[in-house]
Each structure stands twice: as C-alpha cells, then as structure tokens.
Amino acid sequence: MTAVPRPQAALLDRDGTIIVDHHYLNDPANVELLPGVAEAIGRLAAAGIPSIVCTNQSGVARGTITLAQHHAVRLRLDALLAAEGVALLDTFACPHHPDVTGPCGCRKPALGLYERAASLHGLDLARCLYAGDRYRDVAAATAFRGRGLFVESRVSVAEDRARAVAEGMSAVPSLLHGVQALLLTLAA
C-alpha cells in the first residue's frame, strides 16, 4: 500500500453524509447523526484532520428553511457531536438556488464554499478530503486534485457513484468506512 500525505482537512457534505437526509431539514428535532459519523470525525481529529461541513441549503432561498431554523439545525448538530466528544471546525452553507436567487459561486458543485473555507482556515485545497453522497459534493476532489470519498446514502444515485469512481474516488457505505480505509493509507 502506498503511503499518502495526511489531508489538511475533511470537507464534508452534511445531509446524507453525516446526518440523515430529511428533505429541506428545518426542525432541529429531526437532526439525526448517521451511524459511525461521530467515530469517523473523532478518528480524523485524532489523526490531525479537522472536519468542516460544506452544505447546499437551497431551502433557505426557497423559503422552506428560515435562517433562524438553519442556525438552530446547525446548533443541534453541534450539540449531538459534542455529546459524542467531537466537533466540527466550521460550517459553510450555500443558501441560494439558481431558480430563486440566480446563479451563485457557492452552490456545489461550484467551489465557493471550499474557497471560503480555505481562505479562513489556511487550507491547500489540493490536500483536502472531500466526502459526500452526491457527485456534486465530491466534484471538488477532481477540480482541486484532492481526495474524494463517495458515501452511499439512500438518496445517492448510481450515475453519481459511477462518475466518482471513474474519477478515481472510493465509494463506501458510510463515512466511517471511508475514514478507516483512508487512515490506513496515511504516511506514518
């Protein structure tokens, strides 16, 4: 097995990757961590890799999620992770939708959320890990020549998975599976 450099950060999709994908989640009571996610984030942290969420939240543009609800969901997620002894370094969200607010530079697969994360946290985006359950969540791995992890969820689609795999990414049944495999490959 070839040893690879340690990623500077794990840039994680939220819905379907770390929490259950409830369409247009606007109630903090419905935030549910997916199995193994807290352990995955903890293992990354132990390896010196902080986790940052980058999430499309077009429900804000559509009016199905208020900014206050979006914030409450974020706080609930932070609390659930804290109860497991882990934390996110930061969260970046795109509140836009092209049909409502016009084109933006941050709705994934656009790269604006990652660029914001990189400038705030001093990241080299070529040395980051990108994980998500749709192709648009891992497209940045190809754009920046980083590492991509396609995490299969109930809303993942086969063509997204196939495209990610064709571009050299791993497809895994959970974030924890992907993180365990990644950590085995890291240079000592």
The distance of closest approach from Cβ of residue 122 to Mg ion in the complex, given in angstroms and rounded to an integer, is: 26
Write the binding mask 3 to 22 for Mg ion: x where contact by CB under 5 A, - elsewhere: ----------x-xx------
DSSP run (H or E) holding 7: none
Residue 152 interacts with Mg ion (CB under 5 A): yes or no: no
Which residues within the stretch 113-172 sit at the binding site for Zn ion (CB under 5 A)? Answer: none
DSSP run (H or E) holding 41: helix 37-46
Q: Mapping DSSP to helix (H, G, I), strand (E, B) and coil, where does residue 173 land?
A: coil
CB 132 within 8 A of CB 13: yes
The distance of closest approach from Cβ of residue 187 to Mg ion in the complex, given in angstroms and rounded to an integer, is: 30
Write the binding mask 79 to 118 for Zn ion: x where contact by CB under 5 A, - elsewhere: ---------------x-x-------x-xx-----------
Instruction: Please give the span between the terminal C-alpha atoms of the chain, in angstroms, as a whole number.
Output: 12
Select from Zn ion, Mg ion, none the partner in contact with residue 160, using the beta carbon and a kind-dependent cut-off of 5 to 8 Å.
none
Report the C-alpha gap between 69 and 120 in whole angstroms. Answer: 25
CB 145 within 8 A of CB 114: no
Read off the tokens for 17. 């990757």
The distance of closest approach from Cβ of residue 15 to Mg ion in the complex, given in angstroms and rounded to an integer, is: 4
Residues that bind Mg ion (CB under 5 A): 13, 15-16, 133
Instruction: Please give the positions annotated as active site.
Output: 13, 15
